Amino acid sequence: MKKRDLAIILSLCSTLLINTICISSSEAKGTINRNDIEVNYNPFSDEDVFIDDSKLSMTERLAKIQAEQEKPKSTIENVQNGHLYIPKKTQLKVELVNSITSKTAQEGENVDIRLVDNLIVNGVVVIPKDTIGKAYVYKARSAGGFGRKGILMIAGQEFKTINNVTVPLKQGLTGEGNSDGGSVAVAAVISLVGGAFMKGTNIEYPAGTTFNVEVRENVDLQATPENLKDVMNPNIVHGTEITINL
């Protein structure tokens, strides 16, 4: 190989390496740390832990049975006795308020979602249709060379009930662009530089894209069956009340 050709190849490889580093740095700088998003929490995982009784010793089985028998039957996790609640794992259909793409999305970025249908408990609307809630970009990666496809995961975060109770959410919307498939591997073998120009595609969710989110835990509505209708009266002002004595 001639020195001139070798110099050109080395120059192109150096350019490719620099661009890769810049892309990685750009993605790192694009990460937004939100104080209201838990560190290391995966909203797309199943948090429930199931114990295989067959692996428990006889003593452990008896202790588990005794604990279940002693637990008050009326006790519901996170809910005061006598209160109505939104059960954990309740599915809510939502839609994106604005479009978003993996090309520009940043992890941690706030995303507005809109409730598609009323959430009704015991015949009373507790979260009206068209209520705006919060979601966020859980994972984002733009498309790049060597057929790298864009990735975009939008996780539900929360809604508020009419009486201002926070309803934490999990699950959400996931998708990815396309890669160049087998041609990428061939290009990588034949030419490092050639493969760099084989671009994957980004994923874009237009405004109005619908998907399901899930209520993360039981949510106490701070209301009983008797007063739920009054507590959720939209004509009553709800919020933080401050009394100032002069």
pLDDT, tens digit (0-9, with 9 covering 90-100), for 220-237: 999 999 999 999 998 887
Nearest to 170 by CA among 33, 31, 46, 35: 46
Task: Please name the residues in contact with 74: beta carbons below 8 A apart, sequence gap of 6 or more.
Answer: 81
- Residue 176 CA from chain centroid, whole number: 15
Which of the residues in the chain have pLDDT under 70? Answer: 1-39, 47-56, 58, 61-62, 64-74, 146, 180-198
User: Residue 113's closest CA among 238, 218, 205?
Assistant: 205
Q: How far apart are CA 203 and CA 142, in angstroms?
A: 8
Element spanning 192, H or E = helix 192-196
216: amino acid identity, one letter: R
* pLDDT at residue 18, rounded to an integer: 42
Contact at 8 Å (CB) between 202 and 103?
Answer: yes
Burial 80-97 (b: 16+ CB within 10 A, else e): eeeebbbebebebebbbe
Two structure tokens written together for 226: 């008797």
The DSSP element (H or E) to which 171 belongs, if any, is: none
Provide the pLDDT for residue 28: 39
pLDDT at 5: 55
Q: Tell me, what's the pLDDT at 53?
A: 57
pTM, entire model = 0.70
Instruction: Quote the DSSP letter at residue 130.
Output: T
The DSSP H or E segment spanning 28 is helix 3-29
Task: At 178, list the tokens.
Answer: 């396309």
Within a 13 Å sphere around the CA of 41, how many CA atoms are in the beta-carbon half? 18
Q: What is the pLDDT of residues 123-175, one digit of tens each?
A: 999 999 999 999 999 999 998 876 788 999 999 999 999 999 999 999 999 99
- Find out whether 205 and 177 touch, Cβ atoms under 8 Å: no
| Spatial distance between the Cα atoms of 149 and 168, rounded to a whole number of angstroms | 31
pLDDT at 174: 94
* CATH no. of 31-35+82-231: 2.40.128.260
Give residue 179's pLDDT: 74
Residue 196 contacts residue 180 (beta carbons within 8 Å): no
